[in-house]
């Protein structure tokens, strides 16, 4: 999960955007989110430990604006999604998105001027695949984003060095749902959220 802590932070937080391809509608959606995050972090009235909760709430609101949490959750649950009642699906999406947000929004404040280069996007019907690379101090990491368009383009997966966020969680959720109920999975996720709130490190949901 360490790679994804870099990924989502980099996705919605970078100061220098260097594009070598013409920006399309999907890529523009990402840039809007990035600019909104930068504005929040640059806001002097939101700086300091005392403003952390407010600052993080604003950052999470930005993430809500360009992540399709339901699509991401449905694909992560895969075949297990059919085992959920409509209410369980809603609870799962709410809990899983909160876990992701609380896990990664905190990483944003550790941003250290990493630079991301946009390498282009591929569009097929209502799907988009965006290729980028992020320059760290000692290496360059390829990061790709998968988006879907309903009323607008939204991110539903992030792929770091060939490893998909959705597939990573899909493996965990499949393992749990093979022996436990959807309610048990939701409870596991909520327990991980409580651990984060208590300042503890969170391992995989299946652990």
- Decide the pairing of beta strands 115-124 and 127-135: antiparallel
User: Does residue 40 have a pLDDT over 80?
Assistant: yes
The Cα–Cα gap between 128 and 125 comes to 8
Contact 141, 128 (CB under 8 A): no
Q: Which of 105, 58, 92 is nearest to 189 (CA)?
A: 92
Tell me: the pLDDT tens digits for 3-27? 555 445 544 444 334 433 445 888 8
Q: Is the dihedral of CA 166, 169, 171, 176 positive or negative?
A: negative
Tell me: the pLDDT tens digits for 102-159? 887 666 666 666 677 888 889 998 999 988 887 777 888 888 889 999 889 999 998 9
CATH superfamily of 2-197: Tgt2/MlaC (3.10.450.710)
């Amino acid at each position: 999960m360490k790679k994804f802590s870099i990924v989502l932070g980099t996705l919605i937080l970078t100061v220098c955007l260097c594009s070598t391809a013409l920006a399309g509608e999907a890529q523009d959606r990402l840039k809007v989110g990035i600019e909104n995050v930068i504005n929040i972090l640059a806001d002097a009235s939101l700086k300091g430990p005392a403003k952390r909760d407010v600052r993080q709430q604003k950052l999470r609101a930005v993430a809500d604006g360009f992540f399709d949490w339901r699509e991401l959750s449905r694909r992560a649950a895969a075949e297990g999604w059919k085992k959920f009642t409509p209410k369980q699906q809603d609870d799962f999406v709410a809990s899983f998105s909160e876990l992701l947000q609380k896990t990664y929004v905190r990483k944003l404040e550790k941003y250290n001027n990493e630079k991301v280069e946009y390498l282009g996007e591929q569009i097929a019907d209502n799907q988009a695949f965006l290729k980028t690379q992020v320059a760290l101090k000692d290496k360059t990491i390829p990061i790709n984003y998968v988006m879907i368009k309903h009323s607008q383009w939204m991110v539903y997966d992030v792929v770091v060095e060939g490893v998909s966020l959705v597939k990573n969680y899909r493996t965990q959720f499949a393992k749990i749902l093979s022996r436990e109920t959807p309610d048990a999975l939701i409870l596991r996720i909520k327990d991980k959220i409580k651990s984060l709130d208590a300042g503890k490190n969170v391992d995989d949901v299946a652990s």
